[in-house]
Chains A and B, each alone.
Chain A
Amino acid sequence: MPLSRRALAAAFAVCVALPLSACGSSGGDSAGADASGKVEGNITFQTWNLRANFKDYFEGLIADFEKKYPGTEVKWIDQPAEGYADKISADAAGGTLPDVVNVSPDLVAPLAKAGLALDLDKAAGKYREEYLDGAWASHQVPGLKGTYAFPWYLNTGPLFYNKTLFKEAGLDPEQPPKTYDEVFDAALTMAEKTDGKVATLANVPTIEDFGRYGVPLMNKEGTAFAFNDAKGVQLLTKYKELYDAKALDPQALTATPESSGKKFLTGAVAMNPGSALDLGNFKKQAPNLYKNIGITDQITSTGHVNMYVMGVMVNAQTKRTPAAVAFAHYVTDAEHQMSFAKKVAIFPSTAGSLDDPYFTKEDGTDETRVRVAAAKSLKNAVNYTPVLFSEQMKTALRNEVAKALQGKESPKEALDNAVAACDRLLQQQG
């Protein structure tokens, strides 16, 4: 059976050759992308878990765009929040990345490095003035020239606290902590008064906490991490004290934002960071908590609160660059960001939008109070998550922090090890 042997041999050769050939492929270069042509053709647009609540908004937005630019057709894809980065990486590796993609800055960085994100400074620089400076800069990547996504909506949030638990611990529910020292003192008091049954915080410090505490996260060149300085050690030492006193939830070492949110809902934890979106959840899921909810400003030692930035990226390998850029801009322009912000508790990244009375005038309700306070703080907020800080780096930091809290390493050793691990991962990223 010579034919079948040959066929088998060929199949095996293909199996071996395919992965090898994949090693030879490389990302494209966005430098030559031209967005100045006619806006036409079919494009795909991917959002991040938005269909469930905003189907009508996006369908209307797409219909308006197609009407404004006859000859265009936008196919909308929505992906669930869980595993979003994995979905993008699979698409990017497989060459099926949509033309316009909803991203966060840490997702943009590897895509830009691989030549898959269009440099908007070159392709759409004329729109730059429409956005807040900080928001536009949030999609720039250290080591690369250019900006790789249109800024979309911003979010920040206050610190929520349970007034009942505060009162039971002898703390003044009308005078919530304002500084890190006050939070730490309140947490120790709460643990002492409740015999360790109620923790004040449910999460170990993340990179954003170090940033808010005033710890430098990276060197100026963006080539190495630097959060193991004296201030970083001070923060971790304080957290260790909280952990030992049970002022930090015992399951904080394995907690996720979702699990700590649930602990706050059930009254196991007295304080939890959140966003304006959470008030609706409290009202629906924990009405008793909602009646006793306290809202205080995000704790920061730098004067700048942390903000989360969403962006809309254009695939550098799209065959419809003019249409993709036009649509990405359309989604993120002032008019559409404003209309989206009125549907959900997020904030526009376009210049001047936050001066709209919607974000400056209170009507006495908690919702507007949170909204107005958040909009005010966003004007000088900082995205403390370094764009090069990958998921693997988050895990490395988290594990070292856990070792320090368990007493297996000193805070200094733990942070030195975390920085070394993150630097190694940074170098491996290329």
Chain B
Amino acid sequence: MASPTVSRVRRQLPSSPWLFAAPGLLITGAFILYPFVSTLVNAFTDRRTLIPGEFVGLANFRELLHDDMFWIGLRNSTLYVLGVVPALVVLPLLLALLVQKNIPGITFFRSAFYTPVVASIVVVGLIWVWLLDERGLVNSLLEAIGVGRVGFLSDQWLLLLSAMAVTVWKGLGYYMIIYLAALANVPRELHEAAAVDGAGAVRRFLTVTVPAVRSTMVLVGALSSVAAFKVFSEVYLMAGPSGGPAGEDTTLVMLVQRTGTGLTGRVGYASAISVVVFVVTVALMLLVLRADRKDAS
């Protein structure tokens, strides 16, 4: 039972919890809620950077349906999810299994695999552009072994694949750390029991490790699919501001940036594309979580 003094204070300051929460609420409101609502509202206007817009209903969304570049962006962002997510779910797990063992010098490898995660994406992008250039190291090696030069940065599909490879390379270490934490919680006895039953390494991986880290795999799948659908930096750095040859490597977020920024930016139209990106990413999350629930049941 509260003392009379405490009760009096509570009566005098009925909103004190809100006062404590105010800084967090203000920041959330200003930097998350306001931009979100603002984008939603702008999507239904023809607002431009310097010219206030008017309500145009669904006109922006109707225009999207006839915009070739929007469909190219949607295609590329979807392909990115399909190309990157399976690799980012499986490869970091294998890597985590490799570096999980406590053998001399393993710390070096753990750090080395994590290095791309902490490197700036701009630096990473530039390095890969140099490597994959027509006269870069990779092409020189390919030429030396008689394969000839490959247009990694001039062919529409190779460019997209190259960007995916960079995303996977940069993300491996991050997801590896998540898997390492999950693997640490897999009971050793299960592996020992499986080994006693005669299960080999592959079988133990499939019957013990994978079920034990399944929820982590779902988490990695959900996180990487959202990140892959919203990809910008890798493709922008490798394909250039125009989005590759004839803009064929443009992703949806690149289209938002190109359409909605600058002094003549179509803020309303770019907001409509942003709304589509939001809806698709939420759908992706729900899809992954639903699949997880179905599997679990």
- Taking a contact as CB atoms under 8 Å apart, the answer to whether B51 and A89 are in contact is no
For A, the interface residue count at a CB cutoff of 8 angstroms equals 52
A413 → chain B, closest Cβ, in Å? 13
Task: Please report the number of residue pairs spanning A and B whose Cβ atoms sit closer than 8 angstroms.
Answer: 136
- Taking a contact as CB atoms under 8 Å apart, the answer to whether A399 and B242 are in contact is yes
- Taking a contact as CB atoms under 8 Å apart, the answer to whether A256 and B240 are in contact is yes
- Taking a contact as CB atoms under 8 Å apart, the answer to whether B49 and A93 are in contact is yes
Residues of A near B266 (CB, < 8 A) are: 392, 428
CA of A275 to CA of B271, assembled, Å: 39
Residues of B near A205 (CB, < 8 A) are: none
- Taking a contact as CB atoms under 8 Å apart, the answer to whether B154 and A254 are in contact is yes
CA of A111 to CA of B263, assembled, Å: 8
- Taking a contact as CB atoms under 8 Å apart, the answer to whether A254 and B49 are in contact is no
A288 within 8 A of B: no
B258 within 8 A of A: yes
B37 within 8 A of A: yes
Residues of B near A89 (CB, < 8 A) are: 49-50, 261-263, 265
A253 within 8 A of B: yes
CA of A22 to CA of B37, assembled, Å: 13
Q: Is the interface of B mostly helix, strand, loop or mixed?
A: loop
Q: A110-B263, A392-B264 are in contact. Are A254 and B242 (CB under 8 A)?
A: yes
- Taking a contact as CB atoms under 8 Å apart, the answer to whether A85 and B48 are in contact is no
Cβ-neighbour of A15 out of B29, B50, B52, B54 (below 8 A) = B29
For B, the interface residue count at a CB cutoff of 8 angstroms equals 46
Residues of B near A3 (CB, < 8 A) are: 14-15, 18
A214 within 8 A of B: no
Cβ-neighbour of B154 out of A20, A113, A250, A256 (below 8 A) = A250
Q: With a 10 A CB-CB cut-off, give which of A23, A85, A390, A400 has the most chain B CB atoms.
A: A23
B109 within 8 A of A: no
Cβ-neighbour of A24 out of B14, B52, B259 (below 8 A) = B52
B-to-A contact residues, CB < 8 Å: 14-15, 18, 25, 29, 33-34, 37-38, 41-42, 45-55, 133-135, 151, 153-154, 159, 239-247, 258-259, 261-266
Beyond the given pairs A26-B51, A392-B264, 18 more chain A to chain B contacts, judged by CB atoms under 8 angstroms and listed by A's residue number, are A4-B18, A15-B37, A19-B37, A22-B52, A23-B52, A27-B51, A110-B49, A114-B50, A251-B153, A251-B154, A253-B154, A390-B263, A391-B264, A392-B266, A395-B258, A398-B242, A402-B247, A430-B48
